[in-house]
Amino acid sequence: MVEYKIGNNTISFKFQKPAEFMFAMSSIVIGEEFVEYCKNVYDITIEREWIDYIHRIQSNLSSFIKSELEYFFPIYSDLGLDIFMTAGMIIYRSLLVVNTEVEDVEEFIKIIEKADKNIIFLNLLANYLYEYEDKIIDEIYNLDEIRNDTEKMLEIIKAINFENEEMKKRIVDYFENPEETKLRYVLMLKSVYIKGYKEIENEIGKRIEPFLESYVAQFEKEPSKFYKDYLKADLGFFGEVTNIHISYFYYMGTYGTRDLLSSSDYFVGLGIYTDRLFKEDIQSIESYKFLKTISDKTRMKIIRLLSTRPWYVNELAEELGLSAASISYHVSMLTMLNIVTLEKSNQKAYYSLNKDRLNELFEEAKGIILNE
């Protein structure tokens, strides 16, 4: 681990085995779709080794465990590859954020196994309220009153507008059977790790080492630029403590999260090839990506709205008649090109239009098209 202290902020870079296992599980579920997505959206081909690792893990899993993975990490066709709001991810990352010192996957699974099921489901509820209702749980409920009342949690869950009936049905099922859900989840984790992931774990760690060194060097050279390029935020955006995990299986992109109940610390997953999205590309390739990205009608509408003022994701969803997950997907395409940036206010992340960057990309595209 490499740690830095900048003002009131502590930023650490590391490869955390339990975190990588989380990204490996999600990759097993979205593997083929992710490969196609990278090719179609970014014109980037995923390396063969990444796909081979996914197949190696899958080949050692029973059909039952594969179905359990899909149960906890479901993908819904109308929501794209939004796997981060699945129960499998929420349960795991909620405990990961507050246990970043744990370096062994089996030890971390034991922490999940011993965790109070009510706290696990309270975390699920807090995340679903925040994502789909734009509500912060401790501002509207007394946590002491509902933390041991699974019936009350179920009642609240049933009232949330998930905008996808299949998703809602699945989530209600979790909450109707909390004991069984936890047992199934822990069994799945143990099986995937022991039978599928454990044998490649050290190989993955070695693959990440040069990328970890590269990102640390970039951060040391210019911390503010690193945050702007890769995290699309200022140094203080993620709170006083930020733990950055360099991930092989996450591959490309940035994912930030925190525990909504007890900690302000942030966990950030940074894919090993994220620099392919943000570094200076050949101008024609960058312009091609830009024109392809803004050709989508929904993204054009988002740009127009953001040209007036910063918008919160749920505001955009309501204005455009789309789900929050769908808006997040479209905005992520714009943030990759730095057309849209994040601003934090009152515990919420607002999207703003980077007009200078937008004009710059228009000028570059114009120059290439007109040979100027």
Which CATH number goes with the domain that contains 310?
1.10.10.10
pLDDT in tens, 123-167: 999 989 888 887 888 888 888 889 889 899 999 999 998 878 888
Do 203 and 285 belong together in one domain?
A: no
Question: Per residue, what are the HEC states of the chain?
Answer: CEEEEECCEEEEEECCHHHHHHHHHHHHHHHHHHHHHHHHHHCCCCCHHHHHHHHHHHHCCCHHHHHHHHHHCCCCHHHCCCCCCCHHHHHHHHHHHCCCCCCCHHHHHHHHHHCCHHHHHHHHHHHHHHHHCCCCHHHHCCHHHHCCCHHHHHHHHHHCCCCCHHHHHHHHHHHHCHHHHHHHHHHHHHHHHHHHHHHHHHHHHHHHHHHHHHHHHHHHHCHHHHHHHHHCCCCCCCCCEEEEEEECCCCCCEEEEECCCCCCCEEEEEECCCHHHHCCCCHHHHHHHHHHHHCCHHHHHHHHHHCCCCEEHHHHHHHHCCCHHHHHHHHHHHHHCCCEEEEEECCEEEEEECHHHHHHHHHHHHHHHCCC
Do 91 and 200 belong together in one domain?
A: yes
Q: pTM for this one? A: 0.77
Q: Identify whether the C-beta of residue 293 lies closer than 8 Å to the C-beta of residue 299.
A: yes
The alpha-carbon radius of gyration of the chain (Å, integer) is 21
Residue 6 located in a structural domain: no
Q: Which of 145, 174, 207 is a domain's end point?
A: 207
Q: Which of 207, 235, 268 is a domain's end point?
A: 207
Do 195 and 69 belong together in one domain?
A: yes
Could you tell me the residue range of the domain that residue 145 belongs to? Answer: 16-207
pLDDT bucket at 281, cuts 50 / 70 / 90? very low
Do 23 and 141 belong together in one domain?
A: yes
Residue 32 located in a structural domain: yes
Q: Output phi, psi for 341, to 5 deg.
A: -125, 165
Do 189 and 40 belong together in one domain?
A: yes
Looking at the structure of the chain, the number of domains it has is 2
> Residue 259's pLDDT is what?
77
Q: Which of residues 366 and 129 earns the better pLDDT score?
A: 129
Residue 8 located in a structural domain: no
> Residue 283's pLDDT is what?
53
Q: With a cut of 50, say whether residue 78 has pLDDT above it.
A: no
Core vs surface per residue 212-225: b (16+ CB within 10 A) or e: beebbebbeeeeee
Do 346 and 202 belong together in one domain?
A: no
Do 202 and 284 belong together in one domain?
A: no
Residue 244 located in a structural domain: no
Range picked from 55-64, 267-276, 331-340 for highest mean pLDDT: 55-64
> Residue 134's pLDDT is what?
75
> Residue 249's pLDDT is what?
94
> Residue 302's pLDDT is what?
92
**Cβ atoms within 10 Å of 159's Cβ, excluding its own:** 9
Do 58 and 191 belong together in one domain?
A: yes
Do 338 and 203 belong together in one domain?
A: no
Q: Which of 149, 172, 207 is a domain's end point?
A: 207
Residue 227 located in a structural domain: no
Residue 1 located in a structural domain: no
Do 286 and 199 belong together in one domain?
A: no
pLDDT bucket at 195, cuts 50 / 70 / 90? very high
